[in-house]
Amino acid sequence: MKKTKTRNHVKRSLHSVSLGVHILILLLSVSFAQAAEITVQAALSSNQFTLDETVRMTLTVNGTKSAEPAMPTADGLHFSYQGQSSQMQWINGKASSLVVFTFMVQAEKEGSHIIAPIRVTVDGTIYSSEPITCTVQPATTAAPSTGQVGTPAARLRSGEADKIGLMRIELAAGQGKIYTGQLVPFTIKAWFRQGMRVTIKSNPRFIGDNFLVESIDEEPKQRGVQMNSEPYVVLTWQGSLSAIKEGTFPLEVEMDAELLVREKQQRNNRFNSPFTNDPFFSDFFGQYARRQVMVASPEKEVTVMGLPGEGQPENFHGAIGKFSLAVAASPLDGKAGDPMTLKMNITGQGNFDRVAVPELADTTGWKVYPPADSFAQQQGGSGTKTFEQAIVPTSSELTAIPPVRFSYFDPEAGEYVQLNSEPIALHLEKTAAQQAVVTLPDTVETLPDTSNLKNDTNLAPIRSAPGRFVPVILPLYRQTWFLVMTTAACCGLIVVLLLWLRRKKLLADPSITIHKQVNKQLVVQYRDMEQAVAAQDQDVFYTHCRLAIQLRLGEVWGVEAGAITLADLQQRQAPDDPLLAIFTRLEQSGYGGMVIEHERLQASLQEILETTRTELDRLP
């Protein structure tokens, strides 16, 4: 009984040691991997912009799915947070995740500005981005014009010059109230009278920094129309915009154009001739002049509202618009532990950059991995965002994939909408233990005695008695031999890691290796000196003593030991240094024939040995 308890105690101890070593190695590996992979990068959409413009800044954190950034800071710049998005990438067979934070940047004054490094906290560790330098130029202003070539453009608001045309901006469904972050489609139309010689010099641009243009057509659509019985050519641009702050703001666009205008020539009718006063001749001799103009639309007031806090779902991530959800999964049969692919399509119109992956309503019994996403964009902010996510059932008792939830804010209804998919039925195989149902009989039947039967086949005879029973069936990871082998392997791995770190340290600092080699050689020299003292061999003692001093001083000075002479010591050591006195005595004995009397030879050599060892050990 005592042996059994001791054996169980040993097994539990080995199991605890093995588990601790595994956890230690796992924590070290995870910490090293995170420290090596996480990077933070900040970038502006444009490093040069004007005082009345707004630019976008993105903060990308690679190597993690979640992070906490600090608000950017810079003297003369204002930052507003717009939201975040995350994605999963597979590069060369390796999975990597990243999270992107978006900020809008507005300038408060002109000049060069430096955005300080942005601090990001990931799992308690702080990382920082590199500083960003940007240049803010003066705001674009339009000065009045006299209509002459080379003068600044005249700003003509729509309706002020009927001879030129009209310009107007229309929001989708005539919206006069929108929400911050909402993607609003717009249409810009410019009408010009047919026959006017007009050259469009720029695309329409928004005035002010209250709205951010997400997209706009590069080339307008052109067609002819009739207005008030007059033929016009209408140019149409379509795009989408979003508001970055709350309040009521004017919405206005302007566009540069160039007119070719006929100027009548003033002729001096000295002779009062009827021909020179004829309009026909005035038009014939008239000249054309180029006139730079800026056509602007009427101001349109738009009220920007913040999203309501009441009724906001927990899984809301900032999606605004109208969306639909479609979910499919494959394969739907297999067994517990087999991966499945959950494909989720979100289709509609809105700010897809804030559309996050839908979530399972219940993750019990499921292992969920980060998704991969793609986006197919269409006109006017419409499109389809697809998420493909790997999920793994951990129990064969599961009969369906739980519903998938996605929430968004409907700006037309002014309320949050929760989309829920239907559960998807599964057909998982049962394990052998679940399929086998053992029914024990109420009585035990007596088996016939087959020991006397002749075994004419290769089959083993039926046993009438059971074999040896065991108290419990231990799994592999709890068996003694497995624990011993895994513990030994982990210890070997730790030893290899320590040796590798030691070798790396020695390679980084060669002086450590040199110091150890010199110490080993000094041990040999001291031993030979002690033997020479015992044998009272003065010449051998002096030889090893000189070599010991040269070895240590060569290490300290960083020179070859054999090249050190008495002149070197006299130049580097103090005049009263004991090593200098000893080395001088050694040189005099070798070249001057100095001999110590036999009666005090051993004591003198022993004294030199102890002094040499003490002084050499003091050296750094």
559-590: per-residue pLDDT in tens? Answer: 888 888 888 888 888 888 998 889 888 887 76
Mean pLDDT, residues 124-140 = 88
What local confidence, expressed as pLDDT, does residue 145 receive? 35
Kindly indicate the confidence band of residue 162, based on its pLDDT and cuts at 50, 70 and 90: very low
Q: Is the pLDDT of residue 127 over 80?
A: yes
Q: Name, in order, each residue with C-beta under 8 angstroms of 381's C-beta and a sequence gap of 6 or more.
A: 183, 185, 214, 215, 240, 321, 349, 350, 351, 352
Kindly indicate the confidence band of residue 481, based on its pLDDT and cuts at 50, 70 and 90: confident
**The domains spanning 39-137 and 315-448 adopt the same CATH topology:** yes
- Cα separation, 92 vs 39, in Å, equals 19
Q: Is the pLDDT of residue 228 over 70?
A: yes
Which tens digit of pLDDT belongs to each residue from 446-455? 545 555 545 4
Residue 352 DSSP class: G
What local confidence, expressed as pLDDT, does residue 170 receive? 77
Q: Name, in order, each residue with C-beta under 8 angstroms of 436's C-beta and a sequence gap of 6 or more.
A: none
- Tokens read off for 81: 């947070």
Contact 465, 446 (CB under 8 A): no
- Cα separation, 545 vs 525, in Å, equals 7
Q: Is the pLDDT of residue 535 over 50?
A: yes
What local confidence, expressed as pLDDT, does residue 117 receive? 94
Highest mean pLDDT range out of 88-92, 310-314, 509-513? 310-314
- Please give the full DSSP string across 38-88, using - where no structure is assigned: -EEEEEES-SEEETT-EEEEEEEEET-S--EEPPP--TTEEEEEEEEEEEE
* Amino acid in the structure at residue 601: L
What local confidence, expressed as pLDDT, does residue 545 receive? 92
**Cβ atoms within 10 Å of 584's Cβ, excluding its own:** 13
CATH 2.60.40 is right for the domain spanning 154-268+278-304: yes
Grouping H, G, I as helix, E, B as strand and the rest as coil, residue 1 is coil
- Cα separation, 504 vs 25, in Å, equals 20
* Amino acid in the structure at residue 197: R
Grouping H, G, I as helix, E, B as strand and the rest as coil, residue 174 is helix
Instruction: Report the percentage of the chain scoring pLDDT > 90.
Output: 21
Q: Is the pLDDT of residue 503 over 90?
A: no
| Residue that wins the pLDDT comparison between 611 and 468 | 611
| Residue that wins the pLDDT comparison between 77 and 279 | 77
Q: Is the pLDDT of residue 193 over 60?
A: yes
Kindly indicate the confidence band of residue 138, based on its pLDDT and cuts at 50, 70 and 90: confident
Q: Which of 187-201, 309-323, 395-409 has the lowest mean pLDDT?
A: 187-201
Q: CATH number of the domain at 39-137, please?
A: 2.60.40.10
| Residue that wins the pLDDT comparison between 490 and 503 | 490
Q: Which of 45-54, 260-269, 295-304, 550-559 has the lowest mean pLDDT?
A: 260-269
Q: Is the pLDDT of residue 88 over 90?
A: no
What local confidence, expressed as pLDDT, does residue 436 receive? 55
| Residue that wins the pLDDT comparison between 151 and 330 | 330
Which tens digit of pLDDT belongs to each residue from 238-256? 888 888 788 898 888 888 8
Q: Is the pLDDT of residue 42 over 90?
A: yes
| Residue that wins the pLDDT comparison between 151 and 70 | 70
Which tens digit of pLDDT belongs to each residue from 414-448? 899 999 999 999 988 876 655 555 444 554 455 45
What local confidence, expressed as pLDDT, does residue 357 receive? 92
Domain boundaries, the chain: 39-137, 154-268+278-304, 315-448, 478-502, 510-618
| Residue that wins the pLDDT comparison between 432 and 506 | 506
Kindly indicate the confidence band of residue 143, based on its pLDDT and cuts at 50, 70 and 90: very low
Contact 259, 196 (CB under 8 A): yes
Q: Is the pLDDT of residue 620 over 80?
A: no
Q: Dihedral sign for Cα 20, 24, 26, 30, please.
A: positive
Q: CATH number of the domain at 315-448, please?
A: 2.60.40
